[in-house]
Amino acid sequence: MVKIVLSGCSGKMGSTITNLALQKFPNIQIVAGIDKFTNVNRNYPIFEKAENCSVDYDVLLDFSRADTLTSLIELSKKTKKPLILCSTGYTDEDLDLIEKASKEIPLFRSANMSIGINLVNALLKKISPILYENFDFDIELVERHHNQKVDSPSGTALLLAHSIQNSLNEETNLIYGREGIGKREKNEICVNTVRGGGIIGDHEVIYAGDGEVIEVNHKAISRDVFAIGALKACEYMASQTKTGKYSMDDVLNINF
């Protein structure tokens, strides 16, 4: 049995993960939650702060907000248990803190827990150099989310954009949206953001060439996809004792 402490347990994703763990993951038990809203009905105790969490667990899973990072890292270092970070909106200082923490604990981080997104991300690393460097395709991204999302661009859009950039031998310039007068520069990769309604999460990568356009799309139609990926990651990380950084590539054993 994999015992999980769920940070952000009172939110929408917390509710989805709690329900799916009960319905589809008999080998997983959520033994406690961490959230400032402690009066939510859950089948486990909820602690307002990470430092108050006193239960024994195997994996700490975070689906809260970036401002909880320090307290979660401190708890993980104290218990010497794996930490799974699924929040987005981290600052450069936060990313530096994550890097340092990975030298002391097994630390998993992904901007998107969807199995599909991570397979798409692996695909983009393969096709981007071919299309951009060999055939002069332009690359643009569009991400769409609900009107309550607080960070922009989405962490997933940045994940995809940075994967594309890192796969290229040529230096590119990541920009966010367009306005004003002036033609597109060849080395630009633009991330365009849409916020509206209840869109769960749509990501589109456009490869535009002379005479043809290739589009790689992923649409999340249910939050279940993120919860399933997160719980799969918990199963994987529960057996990891080696310090370092882990990702969905490790969980899915992506090597193409």
> 50 and 56 in contact (C-beta within 8 Å)?
no
Give SS3 for 66: helix
pLDDT digits (tens, 9 = 90+) for 63-117: 998 899 999 999 999 999 999 999 878 899 999 999 999 999 999 998 789 999 9
Range 186-201 average pLDDT? 96
Residue 88 marked in a binding site? yes
pLDDT digits (tens, 9 = 90+) for 122-156: 999 999 999 999 999 999 999 999 999 988 999 89
DSSP 143: E
d(CA 121, CA 137): 18
Tally Cβ neighbours within 10 Å of residue 20. 18
> 107 and 82 in contact (C-beta within 8 Å)?
yes
d(CA 115, CA 232): 10
Q: Active site residue: 3, 149, 162, 245, which one?
A: 149
Residue 239 marked in a binding site? no
Range 157-178 average pLDDT? 95
254 pLDDT more than 80:
no
- Let me know if 145 is a catalytic residue: yes
42 pLDDT more than 90:
yes
Residue 134 marked in a binding site? no
- Let me know if 149 is a catalytic residue: yes
Residue 93 marked in a binding site? no
180: exposed, middle or buried (Cβ count in 10 Å: 0-12, 13-18, 19+): exposed
Segment 171-177 long-range contacts (CB within 8 Å, at least 24 positions apart):
none
**235 band by pLDDT with thresholds 50, 70 and 90:** very high
Q: Which residue has the tokens 């799974």?
A: 84
pLDDT digits (tens, 9 = 90+) for 194-218: 999 999 999 999 999 999 999 999 9
Q: How far is CA 33 from CA 30, 137, 235, 239, in A?
A: 8, 47, 18, 21
Q: Where are the domains of the chain?
A: 2-113+223-252, 115-220
Packing angle between helix 224-237 and helix 12-24, nearest 10 degrees?
Answer: 60
- Looking at the domain 115-220, which fold is it? Dihydrodipicolinate Reductase; domain 2 (3.30.360)
Residue 146 marked in a binding site? yes
Scored b (16 or more CB within 10 A) or e, 187-198 reads eebbbbbeeeee
Architecture of the structural domain at 2-113+223-252: 3-Layer(aba) Sandwich (3.40)
Residue 196 marked in a binding site? no
Q: Active site residue: 81, 145, 203, 218, which one?
A: 145
